[in-house]
Amino acid sequence: MRWSMSDWWRGAVFYQIYPRSFCDSNGDGVGDLKGATAKLEYIAKLGCDAIWLSPFYRSPMKDYGYDVSDYRDVDPLFGSIADADGFVKRAHELGLKVMVDQVWSHSSDEHSWFTESRQSRDNPKADWYVWADAKPDGSPPNNWQAMFGGCSWTWDSRRRQYYLHNFLPAQPDLNVRNPAVQDALLDIARFWLDRGIDGFRLDVVNFYVQDALLRDNPSLNLPRAPARPHQFQRHLYERSQPETLEFVARLRKVLDQYGAISLGEVEDEEPIKTQRTYTDGPTRLHTAYSFTLLRPKKMTPSFIIETMKAWDGAQGWPSWSLSNHDVIRFPTRLADDDRERTKQMFALLLALRGTTFIYQGDELGLPHAEVPFERLRDPEAIAFYPAGIGRDGARTPFPWAHDANMAGFTSAQDAWLPLDPRHRTLAVDAQEADPASTLAFAKQMIALRKSSAALREGDFVALEAPEPVLAFERVAGSERVLCVFNLGDQASEWTAPTPVGEPHLSVGNPTIDGVRVTLPPYSALFV
């Protein structure tokens, strides 16, 4: 099926910028909007279609921008509203769309809305957050556990009630059931859309509304204690409530008026089911992603095929990524920091049906950085050390120049997070001089996808292949692209249903003899 120009995002390649760590223009050791603007040409030359820009709003930075105290202003750490406008203007000049984060599940406890809400039970914003009375014994309203550890409820002595926070106590949950809150959030959307933004990435979109009765989550009755308290429970009541979709429908109307798009982040026990629900039709989100491909430590043919088949017959459209600012970088998690295996995983990502998201540094094959405990900044990493995923390892400074101070990220002697020495040798300038580099391959793979309607928007057709070979076709009209991967550490052979032609691109030098394909370990082939 061919899509209209208004569906440009289907099969597009997005590049995620985490602004704190991308490029520092003023020498304070923290990346900013002017620094990111100066590097937009790099992203355009990489071949990407659009940018996802992580939060840059005014914030006390308890969760590094995901605790917003003013949704209509830029934090001085990152620059000004004029700098945000300049970023969008330059991106558009380069042919890049811009999608920005919106964090509407919760705000900062320093937001003026919460400051007013906590003063009394009868002020104009009293019902703008999720408040509940204590149980008769003074304990919290229910057994919900926060994602970052501890109870999801914190007592407030002014109201003599508990407020809900699914993350830090400094991130109180907005009451998105309240029509006045919905109206305020839609006004924020219009504020940024009026400034030329092309869409929104919606942080934990399925956390917007909770069970009206605040019922306890059931226990999983696990045989051994998990790493985090919230992992003891089935999360039935503090997320994925049907009322969230009523607000999504209101948001979709606004987005359609502007020709803008929405990407939802889904964190759920049944991730693909929820992804499908949240993208099922013209009143839902345009697309959504989950952690389906962001958490596994190994890719297998059966897993990939089952994941793709789970979208058969869906009205909605999926998005996929292997890394972002919240997880272990994929070269470490899936490729043992091996260059050729990293190329293979990058190729697999861009071969899948859906919209692709590349996290800054994926194209360089950056390993997950090692950050010593005394330099950790992420509250989640600190709370669960040493068992946590270490989100700071995905957020260290981006390496632009291998011989420069701090690899060209900043003129300061140090940055908000340390530079991993291994990243210096993988800097942009070093890889641009190497035709066999991961960066060179990333450009080739993106170009192949952009040149092919089948890879961008075609169907996914699985082919018979023995483990660990993954074989499938992407099909759009009369165009077919054969994609073959050996996901194992031993050479494998695969017999194609018809003779195999000349490859468009490969990893690891597979050989073709008629219908027989010989695949070295961790190789890939596109025909």
**Which pLDDT does position 227 carry in this prediction?**
86
Using an 8 Å Cβ cutoff, are 13 and 450 in contact? yes
Question: What's the mean pLDDT in 343-361?
Answer: 98
Average confidence score pLDDT of the chain: 96
**Which pLDDT does position 390 carry in this prediction?**
79
Helix (H, G, I), strand (E, B) or coil at 100: strand
Selected catalytic residue, list 49, 109, 173, 265: 265
Cα separation, 99 vs 14, in Å, equals: 9
Using an 8 Å Cβ cutoff, are 61 and 67 in contact? yes
**Which pLDDT tens digit goes with each residue over 245-272?**
999 999 999 999 999 999 999 999 999 9
Q: Which two tokens stand for residue 519?
A: 């695949």
- The sign of the dihedral angle between the CA atoms of 233, 236, 240, 243 is negative
Domain layout of the chain by residue ranges: 5-106+179-447, 459-526
The confidence band for 389, taking pLDDT boundaries of 50, 70 and 90, is confident
Query: From the CB of residue 196, how many other CB atoms can be counted at a distance below 10 Å?
Result: 16
Residue type, 511: T
**Which pLDDT does position 387 carry in this prediction?**
80
Q: Containing H/E element for 276?
A: helix 271-278
**Which pLDDT does position 1 carry in this prediction?**
36
| Known active-site residue 156 | no
- Which residue in 263, 220, 317, 305 sits closest to 52, CA to CA? 263
Architecture field, domain 5-106+179-447 = Alpha-Beta Barrel (3.20)
Q: Is residue 2's pLDDT more than 50?
A: no
**Which pLDDT tens digit goes with each residue over 216-252?**
999 999 999 988 899 999 999 999 999 999 999 999 9
Residue type, 471: A
Cα separation, 116 vs 181, in Å, equals: 14
Question: What's the mean pLDDT in 404-433?
Answer: 98
Q: Is residue 3's pLDDT more than 60?
A: no
Residue type, 250: R
**Which pLDDT tens digit goes with each residue over 361-373?**
999 999 999 999 9
User: Angle 35-40-43 (CA atoms, 0-180°, nearest 5)?
Assistant: 130
**Which pLDDT does position 428 carry in this prediction?**
98
Question: What's the mean pLDDT in 516-525?
Answer: 98
**Which pLDDT does position 261 carry in this prediction?**
98
Q: Is residue 5's pLDDT more than 60?
A: no
The confidence band for 4, taking pLDDT boundaries of 50, 70 and 90, is very low
Question: What's the mean pLDDT in 463-492?
Answer: 98
Selected catalytic residue, list 63, 67, 203, 363: 203
**Which pLDDT tens digit goes with each residue over 478-514?**
999 999 999 999 999 999 999 999 999 999 999 999 9
Cα separation, 14 vs 360, in Å, equals: 10
CATH number corresponding to 459-526: 2.60.40.1180
**Which pLDDT tens digit goes with each residue over 66-101?**
999 999 999 999 999 999 999 999 999 999 999 999
**Which pLDDT does position 125 carry in this prediction?**
98
Using an 8 Å Cβ cutoff, are 360 and 18 in contact? yes
Query: Which pTM value belongs to this model?
Result: 0.97
Question: What's the mean pLDDT in 356-382?
Answer: 96
| Known active-site residue 269 | no
**Which pLDDT does position 388 carry in this prediction?**
72
Q: Containing H/E element for 519?
A: strand 516-519
Which is higher by pLDDT, 225 or 400? 400
Query: Who's near 200: CB < 8 A, 6+ residues apart?
Result: 99, 100, 101, 102, 189, 192, 255, 260, 261, 262, 263
179-193 and 243-258 helices cross at what angle (nearest 10)? 30
Query: From the CB of residue 400, how many other CB atoms can be counted at a distance below 10 Å?
Result: 19
The string of DSSP letters for 422-475 reads HHHTT-HHHHHT-TTSHHHHHHHHHHHHHH-HHHHH-EEEE----TTEEEEEEE
